[in-house]
């Protein structure tokens, strides 16, 4: 069986931990609470694609396009340099559900028109929570993921983690663990009155998964391993 090509995550340290990055054409999940670095990791994934002449699409639900641009620019990233190479698309969960049910929509057209090779959906949580039970959630995501694979994109999905809840089954990684190719968890914990952040790789399909938490910091350049 031929070895699947790998593409960079946009973070060289993370690439090393994941055996040279994400599998090309794979669907990958990053889950974490607020302020853990999900968005900047997703942005750097798209910017890395530009270096390889790979156009990208960034789908956002919870923030409008202008708010997202301001958030990205706070990391000293000038989005004007990437016009035509990275497209930000504002979608509602209902629009994404309609895409899955009807097989076409703005996102499908944009992927085709831009010839995008990298896709970010930030965040997948509202779409998943539209379904009432775990089976329905898995079926909806399976249909969406089938479309993504047909687009020949490498996808990075973010998911919100409710660190205040006790029900682990509510976490997206539990719902999607059999559907996605890799799962990265971002943790934020208070230790000795200091906020500490960690990255955990929960799953890498076809590769050995590191069995530890990695301390990280969020800087202007993105996530830095310490």
- Confirm if 118 and 166 have CB atoms less than 8 A apart: no
**Comparison of pLDDT for 71 and 201, the residue scoring more:** 201
Tokens of 209: 């998964």
Q: What is the pLDDT at residue 82?
A: 82
- Determine how many CB atoms are found less than 10 A away from the CB of residue 205: 14
The pTM of this model reads 0.90
Q: Which helix (H) or strand (E) holds 203?
A: strand 194-204
- Confirm if 196 and 190 have CB atoms less than 8 A apart: yes
Give Cα 219 distance to the centre of its chain: 19
The residue to which tokens 């593409």 are assigned: 7
Q: What is the pLDDT at residue 11?
A: 95
Q: What is the pLDDT at residue 69?
A: 79
**Spatial separation of the C-alpha atoms in residues 158 and 105, rounded to whole Å:** 21
**Spatial separation of the C-alpha atoms in residues 162 and 183, rounded to whole Å:** 16
The residue to which tokens 């997703």 are assigned: 42
Q: Which helix (H) or strand (E) holds 143?
A: helix 134-150
DSSP secondary structure letter of residue 179: T
Banded pLDDT at 59 (limits 50, 70, 90): very high
Banded pLDDT at 157 (limits 50, 70, 90): very high
Q: Which of 198, 151, 206, 161 is nearest to 180 (CA)?
A: 206
3-state secondary structure of 59: strand
**Spatial separation of the C-alpha atoms in residues 153 and 28, rounded to whole Å:** 11
Q: CATH number for 6-225: choose from 3.40.50.720, 3.30.470.10, 3.40.50.300, 3.30.460.10.
A: 3.40.50.300
Which residues, in sequence order, are CB contacts of 1 under 8 Å at separation 6+? none
* Percent of the chain whose predicted confidence (pLDDT) is above 70: 93
Q: What is the pLDDT at residue 164?
A: 44
Which pLDDT tens digit goes with each residue over 170-185? 567 788 888 899 999 9
Which pLDDT tens digit goes with each residue over 93-132? 999 999 988 888 899 999 999 999 999 999 899 999 998 8
Q: What is the pLDDT at residue 113?
A: 93
DSSP secondary structure letter of residue 123: -
Tokens of 214: 């990695």
Question: Over the range 33-69, which residues count as b (16 or more CB within 10 Å of their CB) and which as e?
Answer: beebbbbbbbbbbbbbbeeeebbbbbbbbebeeeebe
């Amino acid at each position: 069986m031929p070895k699947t090509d790998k593409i960079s995550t946009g973070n060289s340290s993370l690439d090393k931990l994941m055996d040279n990055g994400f599998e090309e054409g794979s669907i990958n999940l990053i889950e974490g609470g607020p302020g853990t670095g999900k968005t900047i990791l997703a942005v750097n994934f798209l910017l890395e694609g530009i270096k390889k002449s790979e156009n990208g699409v960034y789908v956002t639900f919870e923030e409008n396009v202008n708010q997202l641009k301001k958030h990205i620019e706070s990391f000293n990233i000038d989005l004007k340099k990437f016009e035509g190479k990275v497209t930000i698309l504002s979608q509602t969960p209902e629009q994404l559900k309609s895409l899955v049910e009807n097989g076409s929509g703005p996102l499908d057209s944009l992927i085709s028109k831009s010839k995008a090779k990298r896709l970010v959906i930030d965040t997948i949580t509202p779409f998943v929570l539209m379904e009432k039970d775990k089976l329905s959630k898995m079926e909806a995501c399976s249909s969406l993921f089938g479309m993504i694979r047909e687009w020949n994109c490498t996808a990075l999905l973010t998911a919100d983690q409710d660190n205040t809840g006790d029900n682990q089954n509510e976490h997206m990684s539990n719902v999607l663990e059999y559907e996605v190719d890799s799962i990265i968890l971002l943790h934020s914990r208070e230790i000795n009155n200091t906020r500490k952040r960690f990255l955990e790789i929960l799953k890498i399909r076809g590769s050995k998964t590191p069995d530890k938490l990695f301390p990280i910091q969020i800087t202007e350049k993105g996530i830095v391993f310490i």
